[in-house]
Amino acid sequence: MEKALWYLFVASRGGANRVRIVRELRDRPRNANELAERLDVDYNTITHHLDMLRDHDVVEPSDHDYGKLYFLTDRFERHADAFEEITAEVDAE
C-alpha cells in the first residue's frame, strides 16, 4: 500500500487535496458535501478525489446513497504511519 500512498499524495495532481480529505476523515466520518464546505473545494472535485481514494482502498463509503459518509479503511489505518511520513516530507518542502 505504501506505493499507492506515494502515488495518491505525492506523485499525482491533486495530492494536496487528498491529504486534506484524509486529515478531515481522521477526525470523524464526513459526507462529500461536508468535506467540500470544510475544505472550500468544489463538490465535484471532492467526489473525484473520494473516488480515487476509494479505488486505492483508503476510504470506504457507508451503505447509504444520499449523504453517504466516508470512513478511512482498516487497511489504511494499518499504514497510517507511512501516510504520516509521506505527508511530513511533502509538508516540509
For residue 44, the cross-strand partners are none
Average pLDDT, integer, range 78-88: 93
**pLDDT tens-place string over residues 13-62:** 999 999 999 999 999 999 999 999 999 999 999 999 999 999 999 999 99
CATH topology for the 2-92 domain? Arc Repressor Mutant, subunit A (1.10.10)
Which is more confidently placed, 29 or 12?
29
Upper half-sphere CA count for residue 83 (Cβ side, 13 Å): 20
Residue 43: per-residue pLDDT: 97
- Predicted model pTM: 0.91
Residue 89 banded pLDDT, cuts 50, 70, 90: confident
3-state secondary structure of 63: coil
